[in-house]
């Protein structure tokens, strides 16, 4: 099969290898059984699940959104990309929200995001569905502070400015941490968010223009090695750590693309299991693929693997709790019913790869 890496459309940038952190970030800135699973068959906007024979996909190109160190690197390293019976065109994004926008516009068919972008997408009535789930303990999501900072707790962020990518998993983590500390987030509130993508956030953080930075791996690991920050807190035990595969409605209504997405998510699930079973080989290939210090790659992938899980009621309820927290904070317009954007049509195809039993 052919593997195509293309320049991103207006909000995206090409993937790149062998770059130091600042260059990578600057480039990016320019741009558990099936019981209890949520069903969408009875919803007014359900999408027919029509498929074709896999053998008929040889002339198909699936458009896939990616982030630094994401889907492309994992599929290549595991050998799963070569097994797909269709071409894959990857476009690189700085974070999850632009991926949701691109899928809504039909520019990409599929992408993997963190837990928060689908919530913002749902609030804007994005034309996407959550079709796959991935677990993680969230220890790679962190709020960093400069090494010279005197802050010692989340409560100390009162009156401070925190850099964060709007609508990203880091945004969700920041909100949940502040809620625990009885602090509010937003303009004129206890903590002021400074919405920046990673490149600009790095500059603001290292220049002292913000007091803290909420960020995710592999950026967390890279910055921890290169800039000697302090880790104020991680998301472990606070955020659910989920990742989600999202597919555009246009792709799901096309039987050929629907079939291809099913094959892709199965490949991602197998690749994740390979990475878990071969941590050293994965960390080495991952670091080389995206051009980062192997030490950072080993740290990031030692804590930020995302094996596949079923889209159960518990998963959806956890996401609903996060959506409600955003709505209550005033940062989300209107209320979100997360279940309306969940479609578990691929769970049958993924069951044997799930890392934990369904509940």
Beta strands in 87-189 (DSSP E): 87-92, 110-113, 128-134, 142-145, 161-164
Residue 270 sits at φ, ψ, to 5 deg, of -65, -40
User: How many other C-beta atoms are found inside a 10 Å radius of the C-beta of residue 237?
Assistant: 10
Q: State the Cα–Cα distance between residues 145 and 268, nearest whole angstrom.
A: 34
Average confidence (pLDDT) over 122-142: 96
CB 119 within 8 A of CB 337: no
The answer, yes or no, to whether residue 88 has pLDDT greater than 80, is yes
**Tokens 């479609």 belong to which residue?**
343
The pairs formed by 316-320 with CB atoms below 8 angstroms and a separation of 24 or more are 316/38, 316/342, 318/240, 318/242, 319/115, 319/118, 319/119, 319/240, 319/242
Question: Exposed, middle or buried: residue 239 (CB in 10 Å: 0-12, 13-18, 19+)?
Answer: buried
pLDDT tens figures, 63-75: 999 998 689 999 9
CB 246 within 8 A of CB 102: no
What pLDDT band is residue 356 in, cutting at 50, 70 and 90? low
pLDDT computed for residue 243 by the predictor: 96
pLDDT tens figures, 91-116: 999 999 999 999 999 999 999 999 99
Q: State the Cα–Cα distance between residues 236 and 199, nearest whole angstrom.
A: 24
The answer, yes or no, to whether residue 82 has pLDDT greater than 70, is yes
With a pLDDT cut of 70, the percent of the chain lying above it is: 86
The answer, yes or no, to whether residue 12 has pLDDT greater than 90, is no
What pLDDT band is residue 45 in, cutting at 50, 70 and 90? low
pLDDT tens figures, 172-220: 999 999 999 999 999 999 999 999 999 999 999 999 999 999 999 999 9
CB 1 within 8 A of CB 87: yes
User: How many other C-beta atoms are found inside a 10 Å radius of the C-beta of residue 164?
Assistant: 26
Average confidence (pLDDT) over 44-72: 89
The answer, yes or no, to whether residue 358 has pLDDT greater than 60, is no
230 or 1: which carries more pLDDT confidence? 230
Residue 71, phi-psi category: left (phi > 0), alpha (psi -120 to 50), beta (remainder): alpha
């Amino acid at each position: 099969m052919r593997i195509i890496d293309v320049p991103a459309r207006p909000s995206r940038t090409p993937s790149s290898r062998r770059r130091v952190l600042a260059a990578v970030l600057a480039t990016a800135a320019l741009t558990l059984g099936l019981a209890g699973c949520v069903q969408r068959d009875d919803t007014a906007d359900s999408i027919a699940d029509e498929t074709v024979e896999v053998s008929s996909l040889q002339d198909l190109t699936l458009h896939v959104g990616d982030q630094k160190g994401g889907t492309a690197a994992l599929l290549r390293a595991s050998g799963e990309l070569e097994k797909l019976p269709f071409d894959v065109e990857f476009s690189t994004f700085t974070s999850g929200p632009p991926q949701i926008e691109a899928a809504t516009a039909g520019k990409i068919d599929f992408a993997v995001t963190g837990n928060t972008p689908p919530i913002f997408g749902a609030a804007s009535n994005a034309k996407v569905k959550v079709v796959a789930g991935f677990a993680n303990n969230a220890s790679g999501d962190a709020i960093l502070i400069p090494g010279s900072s005197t802050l010692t707790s989340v409560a100390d962020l009162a009156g401070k400015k925190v850099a964060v990518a709007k609508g990203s998993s880091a945004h969700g983590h920041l909100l949940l941490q502040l809620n625990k500390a009885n602090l509010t987030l937003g303009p004129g509130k206890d903590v002021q968010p400074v919405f920046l993508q990673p490149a600009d956030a790095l500059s603001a953080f290292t220049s002292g223009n913000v007091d803290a930075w909420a960020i995710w791996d592999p950026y967390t690991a890279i910055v921890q090695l290169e800039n000697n920050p302090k880790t104020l807190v991680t998301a472990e035990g606070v955020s659910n750590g989920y990742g989600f595969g999202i597919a555009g409605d246009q792709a799901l209504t096309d039987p050929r693309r629907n079939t291809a997405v099913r094959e892709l998510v199965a490949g991602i699930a197998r690749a994740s299991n390979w990475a878990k079973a071969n941590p050293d080989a994965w960390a080495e290939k991952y670091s080389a693929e995206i051009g980062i210090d192997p030490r950072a790659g080993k740290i990031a992938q030692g804590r930020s693997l995302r094996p596949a899980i079923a889209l159960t009621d518990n998963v959806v309820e956890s996401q609903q709790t996060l959506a409600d927290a955003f709505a209550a904070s005033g940062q989300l317009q209107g209320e979100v019913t997360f279940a309306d954007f969940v479609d578990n049509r691929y769970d049958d195809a993924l069951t044997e790869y799930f890392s934990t039993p369904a509940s």
